Amino acid sequence: MSIAIRIDEELYEEAKKTAAAEFRTVPLQVAFWAKIGKVALENPDLPIEFIRDILIAKTQKKSEPFEFIEP
């Protein structure tokens, strides 16, 4: 479900630039920023960069476990 919201034009333009650099759509970029802000407010003791890295890692494809082979 999508809902239209109004945001400041300056914020939109900044989101547009960042979205292009990070291969997201503008709505997904704004949602990502909102999620980071929400988590940061809920966890004021965690650095923003740490929160960002965790959220990015959660969206990445899970890799297969590595198997060690005896020679």
SS3 46: coil
The pLDDT of residue 63 is 67
pTM here is: 0.71
Q: Give CA–CA dist 38/55, Å, rounded.
A: 12
The pLDDT of residue 2 is 80
In Å, what is the CA distance from 36 to each residue of 52, 58, 70, 71? 6, 13, 43, 46
Residue 50 CA, distance from chain mean position:
11
Q: What is the mean pLDDT of residues 19-41?
A: 93
Residue 64 lies in a domain: no
Residue 54 lies in a domain: yes
Q: What is the mean pLDDT of residues 13-40?
A: 94
Residue 5 lies in a domain: no
With 90 as the cut, is the pLDDT of residue 56 above it? no
What is the number of structural domains in the chain?
A: 1
Residue 34 lies in a domain: yes
The answer to which of 5-9, 45-49, 55-59, 62-66 has the lowest mean pLDDT is 62-66
Question: Domain span at residue 32?
Answer: 26-58
